[in-house]
Structure 1
Amino acid sequence: MASMLKLLRCLNPNHHHFTSLTRFQSGRHLSILLNPNNNSTTTTPLSTKEKSRAALSLLKSEKNPKRIIEICRAASLTPESHLDRIALSIAISKLAASNDFDSIISFINELLRTRPDLNNEKFVAHAIIYYGQAGLLNNAFQLFDEMSQLGIPQNAKSLNALLFSCRSVKEYDEVKRVYRKFPGKYGVMPNLDTYNTVIKSFCESGDSSLCYSVIDEMVGNNCKPNATTFSILIAGFYKEEKFEEVGKVLEVMRKHQVAITIATYNTRIQSLCKLNKTDEAKELLDRLSLSGLKPNSVTHCHLIHGYCKEGELEKAKDLFHKMINSGFKPDSDCYFTLVSYMCKAGDFEEALEVCKQSMEKDWVPNFSTMKLLVMGLVKASKVQEARELVGQMKERFPKNAHMWSEVGESLSALEDT
């Protein structure tokens, strides 16, 4: 990885770092640039999106804290880009996992100090979230407090970032304190996201009943609650198994003229499934027609996952087939869940069929599930199918070819037994 410096060409001439990444030859994997003997690159600068993709790819496999920072610098990451936000989040997570908190603090400070394009409320809000993600809550508070010194006034966006940071590390008392004290102290008017974050925090901490007063405060501040507000509250009451409160929430929704849609029912169905009450959730689905609502793919996927988790695989498979025959499209997680549970139940042939359907959509279950399927096919005397699957995995994921070669060797050992 010492040749990383060959990849990173001058971030900014004023920063003493590298300013541009080298362009990759089309279709070639990023790792070719890490080979000092590689001559397949050109000197054409990468586009902004190519820089982001390059950084993201490198960060996923990089472990050295120093090089993680170098990659971020070289790509000039910015929270304006979705890819960049993912890359920065991965970088922060990896630095935190290696307990390199000093690097996180110095890197964020460096960005604020040397990148004029990041000296704005949007980046500061993301920086506060990154501090929370790393468990550096004191630094998140400090940055929020010092925003005015940076010429950036505190606003709802930065307040919401601070609330999110507190919630992400389960400091629910701090969420309450910030919510109660900071709007007045810093002259910030809460918005819908503020209230929804607080409601989510109360629900996560087992204080869902406190949310009614938050909704009253919302209305008093001319901020109308939305469907998300009530979905969070409904999920909270289900989690606390206060089922009688769910009906009350539906009444409050009607009072505030917030439509009860299929999304509301999906929240209820998912919540029941999490409580291992999938049959009750299915009854709720069956009653949907009485309310004039129609289920969607999400509805069915929640139920399929619930039945799988409860060991009711036949019900899950039956619902899956009915779902497809009715024109609904399962999502990737639905396929992955079914394949995994079918394999665990020893139903390898049907798992293979579902897996094939998933792979036709370019959705491939994780390595452990695929390995379980391959080994199961061999035990079910489906050796040819198992070998074909191994070959497909090698072709699709060349980086993991060595892992699949080991699986292939295991197949030979199983055949010999």
Structure 2
Amino acid sequence: FLDPLLKFANSHRKLFSFVVAKPTATGKNENDATARRMTVVDTGYGIGYHLLFQLIESKDRAMEAVDVLERVEKKGGKIDVVAYNTLVKGFCNMKKAKAARRFLKEMELKGCLPNADTYNALISGFCELGMFDSALDMFNEMKTVGITWNFTTYDTLIYGLCSGGRIEDGYKILELMEESRSGSLGGYIRPYNSIIYGFYKANRMDEALDILTKMATKFPRAVDRSRQILTFCEEGRIGNAKKIYDEMIQEGCIPSILVYITLIQSLSQENLLREALEMMKEMLSCGYVPDGLTVNGLVDRLCEEGKIGSAMKFMEDMVGRGWLSDSGSYSRLIYEFCNRGDVHKGLMLFMEMVEKGNVPNYIAWNSVVECLARESGWLQGKNLRFVNDLLEWILET
């Protein structure tokens, strides 16, 4: 009976995942019932709980995964490195890399040795938290315990370090990668793009372009196409630039932040706003966050088209992705709301801007003061103490 079931499960993994993870009718002992189901099908093949842990991980339910793991063990089920890795990744996704690290010791005590995937997940988790020294500790520990660094190890750490401002450390890891691969890098261009991204974020554009030039010997076609795109955009030939970009994507090449930013700014300048926003979406999917100039430019374009709601959502999305807002982006939105007579939204944005440490510029000040002076009806709806407190607060800023 068991062999046909396992064969069916392997060929119908999605269906099997649903059956294994289906809640009980009462929900009272859901994890215990799930553990029983997993133990029934698990005789060393490790199918049931692996799929369940993936489901739990996707829903940020890592603590439930720990509970299920313990119940499975009590019922005689086997827990292997794949299950532990899924658990480690789940905790890291919940920004609990420190807690995930404790599973390393537990794995060793139970005779389940961690592998490169275990450490790669922890490196990613620590980088996400900005704990770069801990990420480097994990990297060095891999060598100590005899686990070989793979491309994912290098790629994850270099991106994490560079996006976090540790460009020099990222470059050292890149040099280790080059030494370990003896010059044979195949299509591994992403770590180099991460170095460029780090210099871009630090506003060290000359060094970013210098890295692009040095890449020519290793990735001649990618660098040549990147230069063509930059040149076409500079000449205002955005159609030609976009054509080269599309060819790069079709060939599986990953453009650098320099290519994306240049295309976005050029598309925006040509009033091709929809295309610029689509390009922004593609860039974000690569893990690149734009600078203030690029974001503010798109906010301005959206406002010019009367899409102030979309401009607000766009800025909020960028902030959620780690972009640091500035007075330039807020000022345009404050102006638009105040110009439309929406005093409440204008003031709320003004106060939010100041609370985030952004110093209001002339446009923001002028918009708020003019709006308050003009909208006497709004002021009459407020008591005098509120208005005085508001004006005092504005002056204090």
TM-score normalised by length of structure 1: 0.48
TM-score normalised by length of structure 2: 0.50
